[in-house]
Amino acid sequence: SSERLHLVTVNGQRFFKCGIMSQQGATLQTYNNELVKCIEDLRKRREELQDSIAQEEETKGRLQRDLQDLTERIARVSESLARKVAQRTAYDKTIAETEAAYSKILESSQTLLHVLKKGATELH
C-alpha cells in the first residue's frame, strides 16, 4: 500500500506519519505545543507584572502615609509660625510705641532743662 508508516521530525519532535492524515495530525500537535508554550509564557509575564504592581502599590501606600505625616507636620509648623509672627508684630508695635513715648520724654526733658537753665540765669 502507498500509505506506509514514516518517521517524521517536526520542530525537534518525532512523529509517525501515515499518509496525509498523519501529516495533518503532526502539524496540529506542533501548533498545540506552540500554543501551550505561548500561554505559559503569557502567564509568566502576567505573574511578573503582578509582582511589579504589588511592589508599586506598596511603595505608593508608604508614600501616601509619608505625605500625610508631612502634611500634618506642615499644618502644625504653619500654626506655630502664624502665632510667632503675630507675637513679633505685637513686639514691633510695643517697641515702636515705647520708642515714640521715650522720644517725647527726651524732648520734654530737653525743653524742661532749657526752661530751668533760662529761669536760673534770669534769677541771678
**Would the pLDDT of 12 be above 80?**
no
**What CA–CA distance (Å, rounded) separates 53 from 63?**
15
Query: Tens digit of pLDDT for each residue in 36-61?
Result: 999 999 999 999 999 999 999 999 99
**Would the pLDDT of 1 be above 50?**
no
pLDDT at 62: 98
CB 14 within 8 A of CB 7: yes
pLDDT at 22: 62
